[in-house]
Structure 1
Amino acid sequence: MNVAQPAPADPSAVRAFDAHTAEAELDELRARLAAARLPDAETVPEHRRWDQGVPLADLTDVVHYWRTEYDWRKFEERLNRIGQFRTTIDGVGIHFLHRRSARADATPLIMTHGWPGSVAEFVDLIDELADPDVVDAPAFHVVVPSLPGFGYSDKPATTGWGVGKIATAWVELMRRLGYDKFVAHGGDWGGVITTILGGQFPEHVLGIHCLTPQPPAGLPTSGLTATERAWVEDTREFWNGPRAAFAKQQAIRPQTTGYALVDSPVGLLAWILDKFAEWTDTTDSPFEKISLDRFLDNVTLYWLTRSGASSARIYYESHGGVDAFDPDLRVDVPSALTVYPHDIEKCPLPWAKQRYRQIVRWRTPETGGHFPSLEVPEYFVDDLREGFAAVLAADPS
């Protein structure tokens, strides 16, 4: 007798997803933290205590809090309340948060994080962006995907998932959600992907809001102001000096680094905390501005999803590889650009104009670093709204 077989699941379908970590995994994390072997303290004076990396005293305090007080379940519940989904694009499962606005005039918005960030950067802002308290503020249908290899997205099993392919996947993701036209925001790798979205897909992208505008290479510094020249020097010093060693390591040997990041929660914590400390606009500790719990939400997400190696591969794929950023890309859609003073890349306006041909809003805030949604969330939301208001006013469609 022939028995009818169930039809295979449609990989292009969008399916609801609930995060729930087994208690045994959380117990294992706490056990690893309790058994951690730590190095001796740094050998520099107190006033230069970050010169050799994360100070032992700071790391010890965070590890203790992570093991004894931090509650992962609160973050899990927060993600589930927002609405989590997955769909498969080009063989890779993509996880994303999706919050539809109740407003009839809402605009679809995709927000892309970078490294060492995650969807945790945006969870506290999504409701406010979707259904603002201010009546005349723009509202958005908010989509926040996890980059391939990050969080609850799949880890690509082959090469090829660089920034260009991710941008193409985001257009398909938005199409599946019924958003043929949308706006896009991003910083760090998300800023690169957002720039590609605006440059390569103007038929779908109404405009962009970018925190890390990408200037063409080889532009002269003549004609720049003293502040703009200092930005250029700072950015070049960062990428050409030892501070960019993490990026070079992840671009060349992500697998090697990944063994430590996937095996040791303390190693993962230190690797990420080092960047949050250096790239945040604070005097000493990133926790002057950023919630320790939200920071640990981000780190714990990396840990539980074993993404230390897979997330690092975006550097391998996108730094000079076949899917690297196109140096000649031109962005003609309306663009709102914001450069925070303590970010690691700061692009002068005259240079930005060489790639972004319709800059409708340019802002240089007085405070803020690489993680403004966590450091200065109120300003970030206002800037995003005002930027997209300018973008939508400029777009004829």
Structure 2
Amino acid sequence: MKPWRIPVDDAAVDDLRARLGRVRWPDEINDPVWGWGVDQSYLRHVVDAWARFDWRRKADELNEVPQFMADVEGQQLHFLHIVGASEGAVAARVPLLLLHGWPGSFVELLSVVPSLTAAAASRGLVLDLVIPSLPGFGYSSRPTAPGTSPEVAARLFHTLMSGLGYSRYAVQGGDIGAGIAMRMGLREPGAVVGVHLNFASFLFEDGADEAPDGPGARYDARRQAWSREEGGYLHVHATRPQTLGYALADSPVGMAAWMVEKFHAWTDRSATGGAVPVGLDEILTNLSVYWFSETITSSMRMYKESAADPLVLSPRRRIEVPVGFSAFPHELPIQPRERLDQVANLVRWTDMPRGGHFAAMEAPDLLGEDIAQFLAGLPAVRS
């Protein structure tokens, strides 16, 4: 394990700007809700801003946060390590592993750090935050062969936390990170003191006694309807990510379109007049991490790995460590509370007033407060 800084290659920056300056734009058929795909006027706005984006300045800003590279089972794992400073009386120091998803990165989780640490401090908690890049994402190494599934990632991150000296720690995750967090709670009950989630997707077994019109059935219907309208990306990622990867790795505009669509479709735009409620600077930083690390293709492969090794939970195979959940109203379809309660030791469920899939960026105040309240209520933390 060694300190690490985000590198900036001037030739790569010049190459990106050149590519952004010679786009062959397609013609367009669309509607106000992007029903045919990404709105071209919005994408042109993103592309123009990206061409002017000062990546060196942004990388210097990100490098102010302590970053490291660790060799774990032959893979290089990039992570941020923010050790909390304690002032005055401290009830407990809590190591917390924060896990992102797709098309996010470690960048999205930086948005929740100020509100999270402040909310924890108000309860006498000092947090040691570990924020890694998932395998194949950002600056973690790209697996060179099949097999690095969310289950393997769970093992790697437990090894990372142990290597940092944390024998007991909490985990928080959304999207793919939520699946990894749930797996860590399932496989490492002696180390994981609690799991906080803002997304939940798993295969539910032993549902024969469910009512045909109950919450589980309604979720299944919503999921199927969502999959028909929004799930094209998911099917491609889970079946032929390599084919799509050739296009997205070569075209920054293609990559931006593929990812920006999700920031539009999966966020809570109810209070912004339809505008994406995530700052353009955050979006461009996230795009730049994927582009300069050349990990758009490897990140999509995680879906194929997950499809080959899905998370299956049931009342007989449940997560026994305490679990907390932040339910944001504009999140993708999530398993209902009634099912999660059967497969996990659900001690906290919070229905949020606003926010969507990118909760750390959309509603960092709400997410940070809910995580802190969950941590403060854990028996292992109180003791």
Local SS of the residue matching 1:362: strand
- The one-letter code matched in structure 2 to 1:222 is A
- The one-letter code matched in structure 2 to 1:262 is A
Are 1:73 and 2:62 matched, yes or no?
no
Change (3 A) 1:141 1:395: closer
Unaligned runs of 5+ residues in structure 2 are none
The CA distance in 1 between the partners of 2:163 and 2:24, in whole Å, is: 47
Shift of 1:289: 1.5
After superposition, give the CA deviation of every residue in 1:121-143 in whole Å (9 maximum; x if it has no partner).
11133355446695435321000
The CA distance in 2 between the partners of 1:59 and 1:84, in whole Å, is: 32
The CA distance in 1 between the partners of 2:258 and 2:127, in whole Å, is: 34
Is the contact made by 1:87 and 1:93 (CA closer than 8 Å) also made in structure 2? yes
Structure 1 match to 2:42: 58
Equivalent position to 1:136, from 103, 117, 123: 123
Aligned sequence identity (%): 33
Change (3 A) 1:346 1:300: same
Unaligned runs of 5+ residues in structure 1 are 1-13
After superposition, give the CA deviation of every residue in 1:98-146 in whole Å (9 maximum; x if it has no partner).
1011126320000111111100111133355446695435321000110
Equivalent position to 1:255, from 232, 238, 242: 242
Shift of 1:233: 2.9
Change (3 A) 1:286 1:15: farther
Local SS of the residue matching 1:353: helix
The CA distance in 1 between the partners of 2:224 and 2:129, in whole Å, is: 34
Equivalent position to 1:186, from 159, 173, 193: 173
Equivalent position to 2:283, from 292, 295, 319: 295
After superposition, give the CA deviation of every residue in 1:222-248 in whole Å (9 maximum; x if it has no partner).
29777x765443223223x24211111
Structure 1 match to 2:69: 86
After superposition, give the CA deviation of every residue in 1:288-342 in whole Å (9 maximum; x if it has no partner).
41110001111111000111110011011111x1x33234441000111122111
Taking structure 1 as the reference length, what is the TM-score of the superposition?
A: 0.88
Local SS of the residue matching 2:41: helix
Is the contact made by 1:334 and 1:395 (CA closer than 8 Å) also made in structure 2? no
Equivalent position to 2:211, from 222, 229, 233: 222
Structure 1 match to 2:188: 201
- The one-letter code matched in structure 1 to 2:310 is A
The CA distance in 2 between the partners of 1:371 and 1:128, in whole Å, is: 15
Are 1:264 and 2:251 matched, yes or no?
yes
Local SS of the residue matching 1:354: helix
Are 1:100 and 2:89 matched, yes or no?
no
- The one-letter code matched in structure 1 to 2:97 is I
Structure 2 match to 1:275: 262
Give the structure, 1 or 2, with the largest relative contact order (CA under 8 Å, sep 6 or more): 2
Kindly report the root-mean-square deviation, in angstroms, between the aligned alpha carbons of the 2 structures. 2.2
- The one-letter code matched in structure 1 to 2:25 is L
Local SS of the residue matching 2:319: coil
Change (3 A) 1:272 1:378: same
Are 1:343 and 2:331 matched, yes or no?
yes
- The one-letter code matched in structure 1 to 2:312 is D
Equivalent position to 1:306, from 282, 294, 317: 294
Local SS of the residue matching 2:98: strand
